[in-house]
Amino acid sequence: MVKVLFVCLGNICRSPTAEGVFRKLIEEHGLAEKIVVDSAGTGGWHVGEPPDGRAVKAAKRRGVDLSQIRARQATRGDFRRFDLIVAMDADNHATLARLCPKGEEHRLHLFLDFAAGLEGRDVPDPFYGGGDGFEAVLDMIERAAEGLLAHIRDKHL
């Protein structure tokens, strides 16, 4: 079993979207029994809440259901439970690097490093922007999800 945790700041926009998109992708590839997917936020303001309504609507238009997801905060223990901890941007990557127990750094990744042509870039925070921010986020996430699955097939399955 390979375990993947997507992490953003609030766990109500980007990382639940990544969780939903990636879960759909692995189901389409018949890998739902082999890969576990979850998401969390480095911040705790939205713990227990469902994803942002704009994220839910945008994902639904692409056949991705986020309605069952509830926000939680990332913990140090996540570095023992998950094989891959995938940060949505450099700020959250840095926060996670500080949380990470010594020797577990290899688990931490930047999501867009898996997206051909977008390596090193951030998935931008759509929280304070307009609705089209959520579409741009979905485009990036769909691209990186394909690359992440290829990486997992290559290194973890």
Measure the CA–CA gap between 127 and 129, rounded to whole angstroms: 6
User: What is the nearest approach in angstroms of ligand 4NP to the Cβ of residue 19?
Assistant: 11
Which residue lies nearer to ligand 4NP by CB, 23 or 46? 46
User: What is the nearest approach in angstroms of ligand 4NP to the Cβ of residue 111?
Assistant: 12
Residues 6+ apart with CB under 8 A from 70: 48, 49, 50
Active site residue 14: yes
Catalytic site residue from 13, 14, 38, 52: 14
3-state secondary structure of 48: coil
Measure the CA–CA gap between 102 and 5, rounded to whole angstroms: 18
Active site residue 78: no
Active site residue 125: yes
Q: DSSP character for 101?
A: P
User: What is the nearest approach in angstroms of ligand 4NP to the Cβ of residue 120?
Assistant: 19
Catalytic residues, which ones?
8, 14, 125
